[in-house]
A and B are shown apart, each in its own frame.
Chain A
């Protein structure tokens, strides 16, 4: 029996899936990417450093902030720049806004229908009108954070080499702090809704990879954590084995010859003790125990992170507001524009890496490894073992395809990122 799913809906970008089931065993599970090659790493060679973050944010319209900021970080590391603390805090806040906006989109509009068997979101919206409005309101707050600091919700404008080119409006910052506090109860309600959902039982051991930071739930900065080990992002990055098969526009990655998982579940697995109180409370309420080797729980992990980010934002805003100086210059002009640098930030879907080489302000080489490029090999490995999902034997062909789609969506793949 062959399972074939063309044009998987409700994911970012275009992909299909094929696999054969031979005597109840899934074989040759393949995600086929149907996105045109845009060659971002190629078109940037020979261009000026400051053009890079602007152009790469166009890799992804769902997570443009993290591409933009990771590109800046790689440049700043290459130039050995130390940023002003306010600039770092503003960027951290932008990242929280990015995750709030992306997670609320994925949780509610991409994933939730799968739990109820709705074929379209329109059915979902009709069945849960109040929840729909809650999800939209939460997402609006994430967008507002990005817009207030970045100048625009999609493709931010204010980040610059060494910091930010514009300081946001103080009154607006105070307003978003209030917005976060006001919206938090809705996010908790949504989280409680998500812990009650029935997640398919599908254990498969893998390695969880994310940033980790002794001071906070790591998103903007930290070391890499690979299960129990920690290492510098640079050391991890250079051990990633990237490979590309013919006719595949999305590369796959391995670490120590094995697939691994990045994203909300990996972060929660590695850093749950750093969660804020309400997020932690929900995690405890869910009864989940680590290690938790079931990729479907990536969805619940996002619901928990959504709460964490809304709790985290007002605290960061207080620090920004305390230090606020409307006349302070928040960017640094690099003296030496040659070097090599790595940038790593936790994107909504997992760790994003940029490695850039620059000579006198001109980009010589660039390598981007996106979360989905890392996850896709792990997802295919999961799908290869898919016969172990509970009740597989008794599922009809259609139902099996639905479960496959559900798992693919649980990873929240971003195909446009994977191809770039």
Chain B
């Protein structure tokens, strides 16, 4: 684990994504500069061009590995790192690029965009944990920089992998108990989505669309029923929302966990 006497070596790897999570870390501003004095940066391409060092204490990964080169880099990063943290919707649940996998023929789709598709990788989108072992996921599109800063400092101070409490976004929502967007007929996924973002979306009159993925043990059927009755959405429209950040597979998985535990009871 991270040694106290020696500065921990940190690397940030960016795969295919918008890089908004890296930007959010940078947005910590003065706090980021101070953070840089407490650690050694092993690899952070957005601010420097140093060659990789041999071992990292903590690797932070954003994005999804789409190209063969990216898959290779992710595997090397895992091998070299004691702890690997996946950040953002792309790394944790697949990101918007996963929408193509829900749309039937993804090869037909790529042909519409690129007339010359030879040599362009178009694999099924996988989150980071479907490719390598992940020790901690900090989800969100983008990540909540405050949550990130809190968790990374907790990790550095305690040498233990911190946990994100399994609460719904509703608990952090300013509209809790008043003007709930779902009750107003807006397609808000707050009830099934994992809190920790600070609920900026509903605070801006924007329904939560679950970019952080599901919390554990959700009742997807009840959520769907609310969306059908209160928002008058069709099954297809509900699927569109669940797919937006590639979180649909995760949501189904989180639901299955609940069904199997119910059966055990």
Cβ–Cβ contact B113 & A41, under 8 A: yes
User: Which residue of chain A has the shortest Cβ distance to B43 in the bound complex?
Assistant: A9
Please judge, given known A-B contacts A36-B66, A42-B110, A43-B100, whether A64 and B18 are in contact too, CB under 8 Å.
Answer: yes
A contact residues around B17 at 8 Å (CB): 61, 416
B165 CB–A CB distance under 8 Å: no
The answer for the CA separation of A137 and B65 in the assembled complex, in Å, is: 34
B70 CB–A CB distance under 8 Å: yes
Cβ–Cβ contact B110 & A39, under 8 A: yes
Cβ–Cβ contact B114 & A139, under 8 A: no
Cβ–Cβ contact A47 & B240, under 8 A: yes
The answer for the CA separation of A105 and B30 in the assembled complex, in Å, is: 14
Please judge, given known A-B contacts A122-B36, A154-B20, A154-B27, whether A246 and B97 are in contact too, CB under 8 Å.
Answer: no
User: Which residue of chain A has the shortest Cβ distance to B47 in the bound complex?
Assistant: A121
Cβ–Cβ contact B16 & A38, under 8 A: yes
User: Which residue of chain A has the shortest Cβ distance to B15 in the bound complex?
Assistant: A36
Q: In angstroms, how far is the closest chain B Cβ from the Cβ of A251?
A: 8
Q: Mark A125-144, 1 if CB is under 8 A from B, else 0.
A: 10000001100110110010
B contact residues around A61 at 8 Å (CB): 17-24, 142
Segment touching A, from B118-126, B130-138, B216-224, B253-261? B118-126
B contact residues around A155 at 8 Å (CB): 20, 141-142
Q: In angstroms, how far is the closest chain A Cβ from the Cβ of B97?
A: 4
Please judge, given known A-B contacts A119-B48, A125-B36, A157-B200, whether A39 and B97 are in contact too, CB under 8 Å.
Answer: yes
B67 CB–A CB distance under 8 Å: yes
For chain A, the count of residues having a C-beta within 8 Å of the partner chain is 61
B contact residues around A42 at 8 Å (CB): 100, 103, 109-110, 112-113
Q: Mark A17-58, 1 if CB is under 8 A from B, else 0.
A: 000000000000000001111111111011110010011001
A230 CB–B CB distance under 8 Å: no
Cβ–Cβ contact B33 & A244, under 8 A: no
Segment touching A, from B2-10, B152-160, B203-211? B203-211
Cβ–Cβ contact B24 & A153, under 8 A: yes
Q: Mark A151-176, 1 if CB is under 8 A from B, else 0.
A: 11111011000000110000000000
For chain B, the count of residues having a C-beta within 8 Å of the partner chain is 62
A contact residues around B65 at 8 Å (CB): 36
The answer for the CA separation of A152 and B106 in the assembled complex, in Å, is: 32
User: Which residue of chain A has the shortest Cβ distance to B70 in the bound complex?
Assistant: A36
A247 CB–B CB distance under 8 Å: yes
User: Which residue of chain A has the shortest Cβ distance to B32 in the bound complex?
Assistant: A136
Q: Mark A112-128, 1 if CB is under 8 A from B, else 0.
A: 00000001111001000
The answer for the CA separation of A243 and B168 in the assembled complex, in Å, is: 46
Cβ–Cβ contact A51 & B48, under 8 A: no
Cβ–Cβ contact B100 & A39, under 8 A: yes
A69 CB–B CB distance under 8 Å: no
The answer for the CA separation of A62 and B223 in the assembled complex, in Å, is: 34
> When the two chains form the complex, which single residue of B15, B27, B30, B201 contacts A133, counting CB atoms closer than 8 Å?
B30
Cβ–Cβ contact B206 & A157, under 8 A: yes
B contact residues around A157 at 8 Å (CB): 200-201, 204, 206
Please give the residue numbers on chain B whose beta carbons come within 8 Å of chain A beta carbons, in ascending order.
Answer: 14-24, 26-27, 29-30, 33, 36, 41, 45-50, 64-67, 69-70, 95-97, 99-100, 103, 106, 109-110, 112-122, 141-142, 200-201, 203-206, 209, 237, 240, 244
Please give the residue numbers on chain A whose beta carbons come within 8 Å of chain B beta carbons, in ascending order.
Answer: 7-10, 12-14, 34-43, 45-48, 51, 54-55, 58-62, 64, 105, 109, 119-122, 125, 132-133, 136-137, 139-140, 143, 150-155, 157-158, 165-166, 244-249, 416
Q: List 28 A-B contacts (CB under 8 A).
A: A9-B46, A9-B47, A9-B49, A10-B49, A35-B67, A36-B65, A36-B67, A36-B121, A37-B110, A37-B113, A37-B121, A37-B122, A42-B103, A43-B100, A58-B95, A58-B96, A61-B142, A62-B20, A64-B18, A109-B46, A120-B50, A137-B29, A153-B27, A154-B27, A157-B200, A244-B114, A246-B116, A246-B119
